[in-house]
Chain A
């Protein structure tokens, strides 16, 4: 773990000194407008940082040589950034972006890169102690990736089964989210009484803290005390013939965990789609419908030829986002099945990934797994967005 350790050792150092010096440097260049001069880049890249290193070395005394290397690199990067930022007159946008992107770089990009590093090494329960002591990990090349496709992340279910399950899970959920959201939005888009009140009640599942919502719904699927089974048994008392049709109280959580998760997640996800679609519906000018009425269009024709195409630009990004969120939805599955021992029947890729890392402590394996999942998701979204761009151009 060379890289990680040394980066943290120099982190404070770089932040305090390199940025300070580079800021001064930048001001200096900017003030004297020498960023257009041909000697700017060599001086900025070599001479100035070197001078700063000498000065800092004089002050701080002996320190690890590696630190200077990182310092120089950071310095050079910053100087180069200054050159392009100032010469291209893009100072303001870069300054505005800097805080957000420094944050993203440290808390998103760096962890991501670290995961990439992990995926080529072998960090697991047996190597973690030696890693802590020596800071080095055995390099295993692509073996983790090979394992992702050939072995099970948990105890039995394979990557391919998980992938198929995830795709089915994503598709079913998004389909019902959109269908349900669309239906409710269409109903609410009528001039009905209590519209505001209905809308308020309908967004409750989305507005509730997800942990509470999922656990509450999970309670409703409890085999004895859950609402679902109570209703089923009460129905059976009233209509005994239903039993012959195979209707009976079911051990939802242990026998049909994925179905239960799906029902819960559909319940959770409809309000978001409804809100987005309702917003879109309200932005469609009523004159289109008037024109269609004059042309003699039926309700479903209007739906097909006016509402659908016009709602598409609103819907597509929401669907993309919804797909990504559902694909990545660990909350529902983890909260419903993951805690007490749990079952593997309901695991999708991301929850298997989480369990592989934190239940089975196969860190490197899960890193490789995560990268594969990321690549998959990236591919799916790009395809989606491509379709979205095409739809945009159609308009």
Chain B
């Protein structure tokens, strides 16, 4: 900030030292350039989101305008109102939330124990297990949809929450295990040993010492599970067929796919699903960085 202040004071002419001193001047332009580039990049990053917002505020007759202003003339929340009133959007959100929370919870609990085994124990098959996890990332998307579909059909879970939860539950598991293993590896072993001497079992040491200490990594794993399931639609398209059971992704597709695309409602719906996810994501972004780096360095 003080650099900018100095810049302005230089402009005012009372001390143009900043721009006269060659070193200061170079520094000033360097930082000016950095800010310019970063601001441009940031604009590119958020512009589409702002545009959706702008579209969602447009009155129905101006949806297809070439207007670039962010707050359109006659801005209105009609699209939001009709989205909530005329469609099952809230129901879709609720479906998504339920399925997503359940899968994330299952995914993180499974990953937390498995990662502990990989991080702390030596056992036959350890390497094979890790390779299995890694190679599961290479299974092409869409490959497993058909078998999953058949499985869910056989289990008579089509069009149900449970079917979706089962189908989603392991999708982020390998990645979560890798992240958590990397984090566990950084926790000194002597903490668990102290707990053992203090009187916990091995599992107790995990529960009372390691888990509480791994909150950041657990949050990241949770976030990953959450976003994957929250954004999924390929499996959902196959498993869910009544619009009452739709997740928001399918619901928005429906809005978009009808003979007249409901652009206003579509944009309003997009805003509504984006904002909470964005908030959670940005809130945890600090952990995200440390967790990702740890996971990858140690992994």
Contact = CB atoms under 8 A, between A and B. Distances in A.
Contacts of B64: 224-225
A163 interface: no
Contacts of A108: 136, 139, 144, 170
Contacts of A280: 293, 297
B282 A107 contact: no
Contacts of B238: 358
Interface string A76-97: 0000000010001010111011
Contacts of B136: 104, 108
**Chain B interface helix/strand/loop/mixed:** helix
A266 to B, nearest CB: 11
A209 interface: yes
Contact of A203 (B49, B118, B148, B281): B281
Interface string B211-246: 000000000000000010011011000100000000
A292 to B, nearest CB: 19
B265 interface: no
B225 to A, nearest CB: 13
Given A227-B47, A353-B142, A90 B1 contact: no
B165 to A, nearest CB: 11
Given A94-B123, A267-B44, A100 B49 contact: no
Given A96-B113, A211-B249, A224 B150 contact: no
Interface in A256-279: 267, 271, 275-276, 278-279
A278 B289 contact: yes
Interface stretch (A67-75, A140-148, A212-220): A212-220
Interface in B118-167: 118, 120-121, 123-124, 126, 129, 132, 134-148, 150-151, 154-155, 166-167
A381 interface: yes
Contacts of A339: 257
A363 to B, nearest CB: 6
Nearest to B4: A193
Contact of A225 (B65, B123, B154, B266): B65
Given A198-B38, A279-B292, A111 B151 contact: yes
Nearest to A195: B38
A250 interface: no
Interface in A93-130: 93-94, 96-97, 99-101, 103-104, 107-112, 114-115, 118
B140 A328 contact: yes
Contacts of A110: 147, 151
B260 to A, nearest CB: 14
A201 interface: yes
A162 to B, nearest CB: 12
Interface stretch (B11-19, B72-80, B271-279): B271-279
A15 to B, nearest CB: 12
B117 A115 contact: no
Given A104-B170, A279-B292, A374-B139, A115 B114 contact: no
B142 A350 contact: yes
A164 interface: no
A4 B47 contact: no
A314 B293 contact: yes
Among B31, B37, B134, B293, the most chain A Cβ lie within 10 Å of the Cβ of B293
A100 B173 contact: yes
Contacts of A377: 138, 140
B285 A275 contact: yes
Interface string A308-331: 000001100110010010001111
B104 interface: no
A101 B129 contact: yes
B144 A276 contact: no
From DSSP, what is the main secondary structure of chain A's interface residues? Answer: helix
A118 B142 CA distance: 14
Given A202-B41, A350-B141, A208 B278 contact: yes
Contacts of A336: none
A107 B151 CA distance: 9
Given A107-B166, A267-B44, A370 B142 contact: yes
A208 B293 contact: no
Contacts of A96: 113-114, 116-117, 121, 203, 206
Interface in B29-79: 31, 34-35, 37-39, 41-42, 44-49, 51-52, 55, 64-66, 68
B281 A97 contact: no
Interface stretch (A33-41, A167-175, A184-192): A184-192
B140 A211 contact: no
B45 A201 contact: yes
A99 B166 CA distance: 13
B289 A279 contact: yes
Given A111-B147, A209-B230, A211-B252, A97 B41 contact: no
Given A205-B48, A215-B252, A381-B134, 17 more contacts: A5-B154, A88-B124, A99-B114, A103-B170, A110-B151, A115-B144, A118-B146, A207-B277, A227-B51, A313-B296, A314-B297, A318-B292, A330-B141, A350-B141, A363-B146, A366-B142, A374-B138
Interface of A: 4-5, 8, 84, 88, 90, 92-94, 96-97, 99-101, 103-104, 107-112, 114-115, 118, 184, 187-188, 190, 192-193, 198-213, 215-217, 219-220, 224-225, 227, 230, 267, 271, 275-276, 278-280, 282-283, 313-314, 317-318, 321, 324, 328-331, 334, 339, 349-350, 353-354, 357-358, 363, 366-367, 370, 373-374, 377-378, 381
6 contacts: A100-B114, A112-B143, A275-B288, A353-B143, A358-B238, A367-B143
